[in-house]
Amino acid sequence: MVMKENFTADEWTTLVSLPYAVSMAVIAADPNVMGIWSETKTMMQAPPALAAASGSALAGLVIAEAQPKLKDLIKEQQHLWKQDMAGYRTKVIASCKAAAAALSKVPADEALSYKKWLLALAQKVAEASKEHGVAVSDPEKAALAELSAALGMIG
């Protein structure tokens, strides 16, 4: 059984904040003033439904911890992005790599379910608003590919 105790405090913090970090990385890849509300709304509402559909016990635990502090988690990511717009995605990629390493502490199928949940969320955020007349813009596709690679899902 996957438990919070499987992870160090830093690893757990990364796992809890990562859904919002990957979402912000996708939003930041191709910011669209007209679409920011749809993307932010998706970032707030999609994680619980996607976690339930994923079958990931870990995603369920993460959501249970994240929901009471949802606004703070999102504000934290927005603040980090505003502080370092150029380096934000690099930091999120590093967090994805750290999470992938931490996930070695749980069964492989659970780690895979958590990673798929993160990527499904990032994809849903990318699709929440059209940029340049397309559902997922080229910059968003590039961000999704980088996130996937950092989680060890491709390549």
Domain boundaries in the chain? 9-150
Residues 6+ apart with CB under 8 A from 92: 21, 22, 24, 25, 147
**33 vs 100: which has the higher pLDDT:** 100
pTM, two decimals, is 0.89
Predicted pLDDT of residue 51: 87
Structure confidence by residue, pLDDT tens digits, 93-148? 999 999 999 999 999 999 999 999 999 999 999 988 876 677 898 999 999 999 99
> Considering only 52-56, 123-127, 149-153, which range has the smallest mean pLDDT?
52-56
Residues in the chain: 155
Predicted pLDDT of residue 43: 79
Q: Work out the percent of the chain whose per-residue pLDDT is above 90.
A: 61
